[in-house]
Chain A
């Protein structure tokens, strides 16, 4: 299996506190990888550092074998796009203007806007089904539409690797599924490598080919959800007791947390 992204001896810190320590990680090409872990475990920090938004304290991030720190930032942007957590568009920016910004890495002084740029923007609008919204200001859209507009921007960037930091946060269930379906299709049809942080473990199990569970500044486990998700993993990574069962529709692992709540079963199975 080919590797799209690799980290070598990667150490990340905020000031003196180490967030990720000496991490060696391989992210497979053409698959969907999801980072999971408790709040503050460093999964977003790791994603941001892979996207070069955060300078590592030590170690390197390699993209297709090349250290991103040594590449020009525009060249990185042609191979890897990042959608940060809850980005905010400037007031009044239209969807089309937003998506067009995705072509920034390809623009030079001589070549301002080409047919290829136009083509990629149209494709991105189509893939995210927001063609009808293209003249609307981003701030007038609903949460789900807005997120699709931002994803369209990263698609217009036309990169093999797409990183997304909690792309479903603040979305209702319908829109969460809509966004994840969209990303799943992109991966299926165009074999794009997708790396994202998700909070919902069950959705992670359903959509990810590869899960990276982060705990105590390092990787606790990595692999296919059905191979690695277990009660001890959830207990160790999230500090939560649960039962793992099989999703009756998809067959992927399904985590049912223990705890309080109304129990309407005659016999308590816990």
Chain B
């Protein structure tokens, strides 16, 4: 662990928050349309309706806020999933949220010719929720209730099922393919502020909830039997985790489509910085997740300008070397 005591962790947290804010500003300032820090200030204080000001307010600002919110949510749900499944490779996708959301969107496009991002938000949120509930229910059947193994298997099966359905629909309907492909790649670009404000209440509940259950997650991480022996209601906690993951990961996929990697990598990066206490791990992961997605999104604008690299690809390009470095050092190098 990099930060060894609570004093260092507090300082680390402030630095991380500062970095997050800095990147949020940078995300507003830098891009294809030339803007400056001064213009951004102007756009907020006395917007004169110029092209730059409009871009800053309606394109860059939502994009920056969305990247921060989605990155945080994915990272936090990744932490929760890895503790719940005791699987270091678990991600929110294990709950079937991405596959469920993808299928719902494709279904809506094919059957009901829905075609705008706004509508995709609710449809994908619904799809994610349905898939997650299915995974949770199947994973909970049997005597011992939800076990890490059953959850992982149920998640893999449900995800594979929805993914095949999605592909089937796309093969039949080529027009839908065009429309859905950009959504399936995952992006924080081109979303209106409204999409964020619609989903934000759910994310807020998820963030707050994840902080509230953080000390209980510490108990759960010691194993089901020990946790029960210590008086933790593990069944209730697991349901709470499932709900929070649906809110955060489902909300994220609703806003930005499926963005992988952050949910797997950031929890590990964070553990190597602050250790395994969820009371620190969850807030730190949230902030670092936001930082990674913002950084990836900013870089995505510059690599093949004027085109943009899908942000999902960028997170992988930035995250992988980090991941390999940590894996080589050992996940909990002391």
Contact = CB atoms under 8 A, between A and B. Distances in A.
B275 A105 contact: no
Interface residues on chain B, size class? 20 to 34
Contacts of A105: 230-231
A92 interface: yes
Interface stretch (B17-25, B117-125, B151-159, B217-225): B217-225
Interface in B271-304: 271, 275-277
B230 A101 contact: yes
A102 B273 CA distance: 25
Contacts of B215: 107
A73 B231 contact: yes
Contact of B231 (A76, A92, A93): A76
A15 B143 CA distance: 7
A259 interface: no
B81 to A, nearest CB: 15
B233 interface: yes
Given A51-B229, A105-B231, A92 B332 contact: yes
Given A73-B233, A104-B230, A84 B225 contact: yes
B223 A84 contact: yes
Interface residues on chain A, size class? 20 to 34
B329 interface: no
Contacts of A97: 277
Most buried by B among A48, A83, A91: A91
Contact of B230 (A14, A48, A77, A137): A77
Chain B contact surface mostly: loop
Given A14-B143, A104-B219, A91 B228 contact: no
B114 interface: no
Given A82-B229, A87-B226, A105-B230, 7 more contacts: A14-B143, A74-B231, A77-B231, A81-B229, A83-B229, A90-B221, A101-B222
Contacts, number: 71
Contacts of A14: 143
Interface in A37-93: 48, 51-53, 72-78, 81-84, 87-93
A263 B49 CA distance: 102
The 5 closest A-B pairs by CB, nearest first: A77-B231, A92-B332, A84-B225, A74-B231, A82-B229
Contacts of A101: 218-219, 222, 226, 230
B231 A104 contact: yes
A157 interface: yes
A77 B229 contact: yes
B106 to A, nearest CB: 39
A104 B232 contact: yes
Contact of B229 (A15, A84, A89, A91): A84
B208 to A, nearest CB: 14
B141 to A, nearest CB: 13
Contacts of A75: 231
Most buried by A among B1, B225, B232, B334: B225
A90 B219 CA distance: 10
Contact of B222 (A73, A81, A89): A89
B331 interface: yes
A51 B227 CA distance: 12
B279 to A, nearest CB: 10
Interface in B193-243: 215, 218-219, 221-223, 225-226, 228-233
Contacts of A51: 228-229
